Amino acid sequence: MAYESGVTESLIWKRKKAGEIYSDYQTRAKKKGLSVPRIEDVEVSPDNFELVEKISQGNKDIKDDLMDKVLHRELKRSDLVSAWKSVKTIRQNDQGSIIKKNSHSEVSCSEKEKEIALSVSDIAISLTYSSWLDHFPDVNMNNFTAHSRKKVYKLFPNFSFYSSLSDRLHTIDFLVIENYTSKPHQLNLHSIEVILTEEDLHRSFSSRQYQQHMNYLWIVIPSNIKGEIGSKVSEDYGILELENQRVSTILKKPIYSSAVNKFDIFQGTLIKLL
């Protein structure tokens, strides 16, 4: 078939895989009573379906959410490529380990800890694209210029930067840079800390020196510990909950800060990208 079509065998196999991914998506959509177009009528590169499969890491809820956005042209290939790079980085840094504050070191895991570590991995994957911002208040404030301005969303896991204000190096679990919640020509900075225990929570609150660099401060927690920890979160912080569907949603919005010095963050991201 490859010879007669004038293409490589690997391309045939890639197209077959893309067809299987889309067929599985159609089957799940049908069970939910949803109608999706035939693959022959979809004007999207099949390579995008493979990226969706890689990003979701077998998580069907995230996979379907991504597929919906791809089909509705809400996600471009460049968005998917960026998300996949983030997932690969996360997998390299968090293979079966639990994120520990200020160390991010691997530890031996009990069965319970392994279950929590899986939740951390799910949190990381669910943050690799901008879906959780869809429910952010006033997120559509810049739609009137969206056609002429580039939408930016970039996740940096385990992000370290030097602060000229505190004269020290800081590390946060995740940094998000985006313009979905601001004017298109501006960038908002989000610090996101993964919280698994009350000790983690207090440690995050005591590390306030980096906060003046951020527009938004977030705590992200698995739903099974929401009741135990949620009420103890400072008013300055927003809460992102990893629900049973393993898609991060906003439980509480944080207080907006104008951020004293974004330059140190931008410099740190530029160094990572160069």
How many structural domains compose the chain? Answer: 2
Q: Are residues 38 and 147 in the same domain?
A: no
Q: Are residues 71 and 120 in the same domain?
A: no
Beta-bridge mates of residue 153: 178
* 176 assigned to some structural domain: yes
Q: Are residues 118 and 216 in the same domain?
A: yes
**Residue 138: other Cβ atoms inside 10 A:** 8
Q: Which two tokens stand for residue 142?
A: 């810049």
Q: Are residues 62 and 146 in the same domain?
A: no
237-259 pLDDT, tens digit per residue, is: 888 887 654 557 788 888 888 87
Tell me the pTM: 0.68
Predicted local confidence at residue 23, as pLDDT: 93
Confidence label for 91 from pLDDT (cuts 50, 70 and 90): low
Q: Are residues 195 and 266 in the same domain?
A: yes
Predicted local confidence at residue 102, as pLDDT: 34
Does the structure show a pLDDT above 90 at 208? no
Does the structure show a pLDDT above 60 at 264? yes
- 86-94 CB contacts, 8 Å cutoff, 24+ apart: 86/128, 86/155, 86/156, 86/157, 87/54, 87/55, 87/57, 87/124, 87/125, 87/128, 89/157, 89/158, 90/121, 90/124, 90/125, 90/128, 90/157, 91/121, 93/157, 93/158, 94/120, 94/121, 94/124, 94/157
Predicted local confidence at residue 105, as pLDDT: 34
At residue 240, φ and ψ (nearest 5 deg) are -105, 125
Beta-bridge mates of residue 190: 176, 216
User: What is the domain range of residue 138?
Assistant: 100-273
Q: Are residues 3 and 46 in the same domain?
A: yes
* 91 assigned to some structural domain: no
User: What distance separates the 2 farthest-apart alpha carbons in the chain?
Assistant: 66
Residue (of 121, 14, 126) closest to 64 by Cα position:
126
Predicted local confidence at residue 216, as pLDDT: 92
96-148 pLDDT, tens digit per residue, is: 443 443 333 344 455 555 555 555 666 777 787 777 887 776 555 455 444 44
Separation CA 80–CA 92 (nearest Å):
18
Task: Please give the residue that has the higher pLDDT: either 82 or 187.
Answer: 187
